[in-house]
């Protein structure tokens, strides 16, 4: 996913179509929450002019992350749509997050793809699958139990239980 500026000038009239699978396995080694990532599919095209190149990309793939509650593997599909602009000269335009000035004679999209995929990693994912209970972290132990919101709403605080009985008794007497 590298092109020299000279190659891009030659493709100025034809245009550049991108349709590649990229292996980002090195992200797994560098990110503690990322357990696995499938080869990422990068698709799009480039609009090339004499002053800049704009890459319109769609990046799709699937990463495996740990469930925040049970630590089982959760498949997390992602799709990123972006437009990245590379300026051949920084004097012409104002730069922004999606605008890059070409350093040297080569445009490399891999650092940008790495960054976009890393930004797509959510803070927490939750597994809804019940079949992974054997692999999951324990749901209860001595003096504790994991409960959901519904159970919590229906539960009466033990400190107020005798008060609730007193109120029920008053309602029954009336």
Strand ranges for 67-168 from DSSP E: 73-87, 99-101, 106-108, 140-141, 144-145
- Span 15-37, pLDDT tens digits: 789 999 999 888 888 888 899 99
Any residues with CB less than 8 A from the CB of 123 and at least 6 apart, and which? none
The string of pLDDT tens digits covering residues 85-132 is 888 776 655 656 667 777 778 888 899 999 999 999 998 888 876 555
- In whole angstroms, how far apart are CA 91 and each of 48, 95, 102? 18, 10, 12
Mean pLDDT of the chain: 82
Q: What's the pTM value of the predicted model, to 2 decimals?
A: 0.70
């Amino acid at each position: 996913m590298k092109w020299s500026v000279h190659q891009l000038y030659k493709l100025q009239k034809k245009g550049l179509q991108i349709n590649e699978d990229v292996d980002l396995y090195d992200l797994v080694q560098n990110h503690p929450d990322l357990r696995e990532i499938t080869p990422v599919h990068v698709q799009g095209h480039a609009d090339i002019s004499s002053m800049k190149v704009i890459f319109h990309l769609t990046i799709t793939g699937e990463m495996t992350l740990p469930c925040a509650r049970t630590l089982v593997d959760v498949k997390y599909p992602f799709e990123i749509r972006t437009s990245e602009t590379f300026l051949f000269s920084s004097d012409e335009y104002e730069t922004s997050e999606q605008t890059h000035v070409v350093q040297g004679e080569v445009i490399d999209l891999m650092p940008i793809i790495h960054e976009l995929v890393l930004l797509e990693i959510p803070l927490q994912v939750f597994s809804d699958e019940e079949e992974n209970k054997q692999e999951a972290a324990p749901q209860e132990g001595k003096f504790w139990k994991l409960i959901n919101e519904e159970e919590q709403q229906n539960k009466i605080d033990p400190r107020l239980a005798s008060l609730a009985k007193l109120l029920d008794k008053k309602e029954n007497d009336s």
